[in-house]
Amino acid sequence: MTLYVIVSMLYILIKKRRKILSMSKKKVEEKMKSSRISFIDDAIKSGRYPNTEKLAKDLEVTTRTIGRDIEFLKRVYKAPIEHDPIRRGYYYTDSTFFIKSVFLSEDDLNTVTLFDNFIKKKHYNEDDLAVKIRKIIDKLLLAMPEEQTNSLPFSPKSKEIPNFIFKPEMSIQVQHDLIIQMAISKKKVLEIEYWTTDNKKYTKQEIEPLDLVEQGEHSFVLAYKKGNHEKPLFYSLYNISKVKDTGKKFVIPADFKISKYIKKEGNNVSPTDKETYHFELSFPKEVASEAIEKTYYHNQHIKLCEDGTVYVSFDTTLLQEMYKWVLGEGHNVKVLNPPELVNMLKMEVQKLVKYYL
């Protein structure tokens, strides 16, 4: 082994050691800070009107450290701390104030967010485990400082789980959701394998994810193609087979506004530039008893016709997803509208005929 190799190995070991020591030091400092915050809170609640000098002496730290701790209490915990000039000490203006002491890491918050989005994609009863876990999470969130919960995409006070089914059933991989959400929060470039209808295959491409958009049970990623900031595109999670964090960072253009591309109507969020189609479907008598009981879309109109068939109509932007579903259903459903979908199916049938005639 050459001297150069030995020195290089020692250098790498020293760097790793310093990193570990740095992480350990940070954890110790966080524990000490937490202990000081608890001590200061107890001292103020006791009504003794502690001042900076007294607290610094009791805790064996500088007055500047106590000053930072007081500001931390005000900023993170929204503590109603005031200084009484007569008693020369601190007090709470609201006697009912208490410290919210549950802290979650960034990864913890991302996991909670992912779980929340995931259970909204399915139907659950009040006694189901998913709902019970969500209620426990709600309690934890209510005990967290507002600085952490303000950035979450859902309210811990809202326990409503949308009653929504979209048939076709879509298998969105939970791991993909998590990777995408992490990339959005950290502005990381992703490499995805995406199904393109024109080429009938998955192609690799790099995207700069900006937001996740939910439309019913369907999810889209609003993202720029890497390096092209002319206009972001909507990528269906249903058409993504693989997701990989490239480790590369990107910068969001200064003139980017999410409202230009996403509209919100009540609890429904959808792309602004995707065309809405009016779908009309007919189900034959053989499957009528099953079809009449189903919810195909949240704004559907459904009726049993005199000839025994079932008629369903609804409006949605999900043309490609409906195309795939109809192909999977085969002769169990007939598309009456829109003409775009009818033509797509005719072209597919013509291709199939060439194979078997």
Q: Quick one: pLDDT at residue 224?
A: 93
> Which residues, other chains included, contact 89 with Cβ-Cβ below 8 Å and sequence gap of 6+?
48, 49, 50, 51, 54, 83
Residue 141 belongs to some domain of the structure = yes
Of 63, 92, 121, the position where a domain reaches its end is 92
Q: Is there a single domain that holds both residue 267 and residue 283?
A: no
Q: Is there a single domain that holds both residue 69 and residue 45?
A: yes
Q: What is the CATH number of the domain that holds 51?
A: 1.10.10.10
Total structural domains in the chain?
4
* Residue 237 DSSP class: G
Report which of 184, 124, 115 is spatially closest to residue 154, judged by C-alpha positions. 115
Instruction: Please say if the pLDDT value at position 209 is more than 50.
Output: yes
Q: Which helix (H) or strand (E) holds 9?
A: helix 3-45
Taking only the tens place, the pLDDT of each residue in 29-67 is 767 887 888 888 888 888 889 999 999 999 888 999 999
Of 271, 295, 315, the position where a domain reaches its end is 271
Percent of the chain with pLDDT over 70: 65
The more confident residue out of 216 and 74 is: 74
Residue 171 belongs to some domain of the structure = no
Least confident of 97-111, 206-220, 317-331: 97-111
Taking only the tens place, the pLDDT of each residue in 320-352 is 778 888 988 888 999 999 998 999 898 888 888
Q: Cα 343–192–177 angle (5° rounding)? A: 95
Domain with 112, as residue range(s), is: 106-149
Q: Quick one: pLDDT at residue 160?
A: 38
| Cβ 48 vs Cβ 89: under 8 Å | yes
Instruction: Please say if the pLDDT value at position 306 is more than 50.
Output: yes
Report which of 224, 183, 222, 220 is spatially closest to residue 206, judged by C-alpha positions. 224
Q: Quick one: pLDDT at residue 315?
A: 86
Q: Quick one: pLDDT at residue 299?
A: 79
Distance (Å, rounded) from C-alpha 84 to C-alpha 86?
A: 6
